[in-house]
Amino acid sequence: MASFYIPVEIERRVRKAAQNRCGYCLSPQHLVMARLEIEHIIPISKGGSNEESNLWLACPLCNAYKSNKTTGVDPETGETVKLFSPRTQVWSEHFYWSEDGLRIVGKTSTGRATVVALHLSNDPDALEVRSYWVIAGWHPPKDWY
């Protein structure tokens, strides 16, 4: 059975590299009511490892929806594509924020498939919380592009 233990030093480096934000919805640690989780980009169950190059941060909601998925279906083309990798891909190349700042919109096949697979634009709890962040002027993040 594979070990899920991540050494403290690797976790610290991952958190720093991710700037303490979820790699998918960009929620910052200081606004999330739970600790951001170390996420396996390629899940252990799909042959992934605990190597730092396979780890990033995800909020509990994104991590739960991602689960052990590595691919998703682009709703525009019907094509199965790899999900977005926050470690190796640039968020703004695959996504943008809706005008009201509540929904993440996919620009590419990868972005669109990831939005659907991780429920980035239709989870009612996430939308409600983001709406308060927008009112407070904390969202959408302007320093991530």
Whole-number percent of the chain with pLDDT over 90:
93
**Considering the domain boundaries, does residue 144 fall inside one?**
no
**Considering the domain boundaries, does residue 93 fall inside one?**
yes
Number of domains in the chain: 1
**Considering the domain boundaries, does residue 111 fall inside one?**
yes
CA 16: distance to chain centroid? 16
**Considering the domain boundaries, does residue 145 fall inside one?**
no
If 0-12 CB within 10 Å is exposed, 13-18 middle and 19+ buried, where does residue 14 land?
Answer: buried
Residue 122 belongs to domain spanning: 8-136
**Considering the domain boundaries, does residue 141 fall inside one?**
no
pLDDT in tens, 82-113: 999 999 999 999 999 999 999 999 999 999 99
Residue with tokens 């070990």: 3
pLDDT in tens, 101-144: 999 999 999 999 999 999 999 999 999 999 999 999 999 988 75
> For residue 78, what are the CA distances in angstroms to 73, 103, 105, 113, 119?
6, 21, 17, 9, 17
**Considering the domain boundaries, does residue 125 fall inside one?**
yes
**Considering the domain boundaries, does residue 35 fall inside one?**
yes
pLDDT in tens, 41-82: 999 999 999 999 999 999 999 999 999 999 999 999 999 999
82: helix, coil or strand? strand
